[in-house]
Amino acid sequence: MCNQRRLQNMRLFLCSHFSRVGSAVEEQIAGKKVLFIPTASIHEGYTGYVGSARKLFKKAGALLTETDISSEEFSKIKTLFDDADVIYFTGGNSFFLIDCLRKTGTDKLLKRQLGKGKLFIGESAGAIVCAPTISYIEKMDPIPKDYSQSDYAGLKLIDFYILPHYLTAPFKKVTAQIAEEFSHLDLCPINNAQAIIVEGSSKKVKPLLLKAANEP
For the annotated catalytic residues, the residue numbers are 124, 165
155 touches 10 (CB < 8 A): no
Strands 205-208 and 195-199, sheet pairing: antiparallel
d(CA 147, CA 104): 13
Q: Give the residue from 6, 2, 8, 16 showing the smallest Cα distance to 126.
A: 16
Query: Longest C-alpha distance within the chain, in Å?
Result: 47
- Alpha-carbon gap, residue 112 to 144, rounded angstroms: 28
Closest Cα to residue 209, out of 26, 28, 15? Answer: 15
Burial class (CB in 10 A: 0-12, 13-18, 19+), 28: middle
User: Can you give the C-alpha Rg of the chain in angstroms?
Assistant: 16
Identify whether the C-beta of residue 159 lies closer than 8 Å to the C-beta of residue 186: yes
